[in-house]
Amino acid sequence: MSDVENVRKPGAEKPVTPAGLLVCEQEEEEEEEKEEEEEEEKEEEEKEEKEEEEEEEEEKEEEAEEEKEEKEEEEEAQEKGKGQQQYFLLVKEN
């Protein structure tokens, strides 16, 4: 018997044949590939979540900027309105 035939799979009661070793190796490779795919999927999901959070943050910043601009425009309009009212009052008095 060769050394390969005497190798035992953990928990196996019978010696593992070279064909059995190939099956074990294939199973291990498949398991490793599955784990790698799961890890890649997890990393992709995390990346997508991070991008979504960044987009939401940018939208909030844009909304805040728009609100600020609208408020400034309203204040300017009010100032113009006050100036016009004062002008009309002056014209009325004269």
pTM score of the predicted model: 0.46
Number of domains present in the structure of the chain: 1
Q: Regarding predicted confidence, which is higher, 65 or 19?
A: 65
Tens-place pLDDT, residues 73-84: 988 888 776 666
H or E element that contains 15? none
**R_g (Cα) of the chain, nearest Å:** 38
Comparing CA positions, the residue from 35, 33, 6 lying closest to residue 21 is: 6
Structural domain boundaries enclosing 57: 3-93
* Helices marked H in 1-94: 3-6, 18-93
User: Average of pLDDT values for 7-28?
Assistant: 67
**Mind listing the pLDDT tens digit for each residue in 21-56?**
677 788 899 999 999 999 999 999 999 999 999 999
Note the pLDDT of residue 1. Answer: 45
Tokens of 19: 């064909």
Q: Which has the higher per-residue pLDDT, 41 or 16?
A: 41
